[in-house]
Chains A and B, each alone.
Chain A
């Protein structure tokens, strides 16, 4: 599935997600970086996917309402009476 060497845009796109996830590494990572430096289209795509990924990451913070915080605090207090084995 994964190319062993990056010689085309198609192969670059195939490993782009792993590159953006910091999961590629090794020779493919170096080859992809070299490709991105010379290919405007793939470079634009990398920027686009990186930005989209950053926006999705922004969904992480969930406003915590008082009920949840209170319930968790009560739960944690109850653990004091039940020591771990």
Chain B
């Protein structure tokens, strides 16, 4: 590796690799940053998380066997950095007991009418009154480890397998975290955006 010829080849390869890496990262950045904000719930920490993940990704780039899997690979690094910092902060992710009510909470079960109503559609009314900020607040309200499972699968559409790999847990754990996380989100939405908070009060009055 010390002869000038191979060093020159190495430099060319690195520069092409660098250009490729930069292009890929720029195009994935909105998604990557979005995921970081969802995980951290804080823009400053999200910025640091993205920077740390990119630094690690660049260092580990030679271990990426298939460039077609770059996005999943980068998300995995991002999640790993997030989890390791999270553990370092000594906030242990625990499968805390949330109660049967929270585990099974379903908005649909609360509003669905078994017979067709001529005067309206409660499900549609719920969605009509549902704001992006309501959903964001419900997602932010989720404790770990439920939030990261919902973020990866529902927001970023990772498969259970990929989410499990990213979070370093078995698929069955992804499934149960999702189930609890979604029920908790629905409970939050019901409390803050359910009937009584909907369009009847006027959307314009809410942010």
Contacts and interface: CB of A to CB of B under 8 A. Distances in A.
Contacts of A75: 51, 54-55
Contacts of A72: 25-26, 29, 50-51, 54
Contacts, number: 110
Given A79-B21, A85-B62, A56 B155 contact: yes
A55 B33 contact: no
Nearest to A82: B58
Interface in B12-62: 14-15, 17-18, 21-22, 25-26, 29-31, 33-35, 37-38, 47, 50-51, 54-55, 58-62
B157 interface: yes
Given A62-B33, A84-B61, A76 B17 contact: no
Interface in B148-203: 150, 153-157, 159-160, 175, 178-179, 182, 185-186
Interface in A44-85: 44-45, 47-49, 51-53, 55-62, 64, 67-69, 71-73, 75-76, 79-80, 82-85
Given A56-B135, A59-B136, A64-B30, A71 B51 contact: yes
B112 A79 contact: no
Interface residues of A, number: 37
Select the residue from A41, A67, A83 with max chain B CB neighbours within 10 A.
A83
A17 interface: yes
A29 to B, nearest CB: 15
B15 A44 contact: no
Contact of B47 (A52, A60, A68): A68
Contacts of A69: 29
Nearest to A41: B114
B86 interface: no
A21 interface: yes
Interface in A3-52: 17-18, 21-23, 41, 44-45, 47-49, 51-52
A83 B11 CA distance: 8
Given A23-B159, A45-B112, A60-B156, 11 more contacts: A17-B179, A44-B108, A52-B127, A59-B135, A59-B139, A60-B34, A62-B33, A68-B29, A68-B50, A72-B29, A73-B26
Interface of B: 10-11, 14-15, 17-18, 21-22, 25-26, 29-31, 33-35, 37-38, 47, 50-51, 54-55, 58-62, 107-108, 112, 114, 123, 127, 130, 132, 135-136, 139, 150, 153-157, 159-160, 175, 178-179, 182, 185-186
10 contacts: A17-B179, A21-B160, A23-B159, A41-B112, A59-B136, A59-B155, A83-B11, A84-B58, A84-B62, A85-B62
